[in-house]
């Protein structure tokens, strides 16, 4: 019996590739290049399946040009690179990798928030440039984390993990806004209190964004929302680019409407708004919130297990759509 054909669109760990090769005829992107849309369509010709990342857009044009495709397994919890409606209409299964990256991403989000509040990157650059000549009482004074108010926008698994770190580890008052309040037992476990979006923005000392990207969530944080925040507040985005209007954020940071921002995701990444690079009060990282080897391997393994389960058992482990 012939093995199904699989395109692995980016470089993955050797152990995951070896597992896949036991079950599939694999075309593997050894060079880790990012395919153009045309290149992706060419590579997907005749393929039964694809293992993808957020850099590959699976839209109706791609699906129409690749009619043999049955499943796309994303190595990510997010799937805004998938046109899920078109995939469902064409009976192409979409899968993602939830749960395995929750704690690692929450760790990073909290670290990025702390680096932002305490001006760690800014002060390191100052030191590396040889500008440090004396100690001063007000040198690089930032804002406290302990006993401050943590605001979380998006209270899924990662948001809840960040809330617990803040409440239990740092004595923070935790408030959040979500599409709907959490069940009482989850709120209690997180020591979190549901508020309106406006109250969240106006009240929090440190705002962390952890909501999924959808067209409706585009520019959830723009000029109007930034104007509601305290001038001493920080903003941390570990969610997705596009949730924040980066141009509006750059202007707010320049004008000190808010104190600082920590960004792991950007509109149009890996490109980013050049105004952000000019600002001292922003910490910038290249979409690495889930980047521990253990977690990234677990993500790749779950994507592989989704593919194997689909072809051998008729169902995936973590599907995004149904039909």
The two three-digit tokens of residue 241, written as one number: 């680019």
Angle at 269 between CA 102 and CA 42, to 5 degrees: 100
At residue 46, the 3 state secondary structure works out as coil
Name the 3-class secondary structure at 107. Answer: helix
Which residues, at least 6 apart from 97, have a Cβ–Cβ distance to it below 8 Å?
74, 75, 76, 77, 298, 299, 302, 303, 318
Catalytic pick among 177, 240, 267, 296:
240
Spatial neighbors of 127 by CB under 8 A, at least 6 apart, are: none
Q: Does residue 293 carry a catalytic annotation?
A: no
Q: Does an H or E element contain 7, and which?
A: strand 5-8
Looking at 21, 103, 199, 269, which residue is catalytic? 269
Cα distance between residue 117 and residue 109, in whole Å: 12
Question: 151 near 207, Cβ under 8 Å?
Answer: yes
CA nearest neighbour of 260 among 105, 122, 107, 108: 122
Is residue 287 annotated as a catalytic residue, yes or no?
A: yes
Active site residue 240: yes
Strand order in the sheet with 71-74: 25-28, 5-8, 49-52, 71-74, 93-95
Which residues are known catalytic residues? 240, 269, 287
């Amino acid at each position: 019996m012939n093995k199904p054909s699989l395109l692995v669109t980016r470089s993955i760990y050797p152990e995951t590739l070896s597992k896949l090769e036991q079950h599939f005829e694999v075309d593997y992107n050894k060079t880790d290049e990012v395919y153009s849309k045309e290149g992706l369509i060419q590579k997907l010709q005749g393929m039964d399946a694809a293992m993808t990342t957020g850099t590959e857009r699976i839209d109706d044009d791609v699906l129409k040009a690749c009619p043999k495709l049955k499943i796309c397994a994303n190595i990510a919890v997010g799937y805004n690179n998938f046109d899920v409606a078109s995939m469902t209409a064409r009976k192409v299964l979409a899968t993602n990798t939830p749960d395995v990256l929750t704690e690692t991403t929450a760790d990073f989000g909290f670290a990025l928030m702390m680096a932002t509040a305490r001006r760690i990157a800014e002060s390191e650059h100052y030191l590396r440039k040889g500008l440090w000549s004396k100690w001063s009482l007000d040198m690089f004074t930032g804002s406290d984390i302990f006993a401050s108010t943590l605001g979380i926008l998006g209270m899924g698994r990662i948001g809840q993990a960040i809330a617990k770190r803040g409440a239990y580890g740092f004595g923070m008052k935790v408030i959040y806004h979500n599409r709907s309040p959490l069940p009482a037992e989850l709120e209690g476990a997180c020591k979190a209190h549901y508020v309106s979006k406006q109250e969240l923005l106006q009240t929090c000392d440190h705002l962390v964004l952890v909501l999924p990207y959808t067209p409706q969530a585009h520019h959830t944080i723009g000029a109007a929302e930034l104007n509601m925040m305290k001038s001493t507040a920080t903003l941390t985005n570990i969610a997705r680019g596009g949730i924040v209007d980066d141009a509006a954020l750059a202007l707010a940071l320049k004008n000190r409407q808010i104190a600082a921002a920590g960004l792991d995701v950007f509109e149009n990444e890996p490109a980013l708004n050049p105004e952000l690079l000019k600002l001292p009060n922003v910490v910038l990282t290249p979409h690495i919130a889930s980047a521990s080897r253990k977690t990234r391997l677990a993500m790749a393994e779950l994507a592989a297990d989704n593919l194997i389960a689909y072809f051998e058992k008729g169902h995936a482990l973590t599907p995004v759509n149904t039909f």
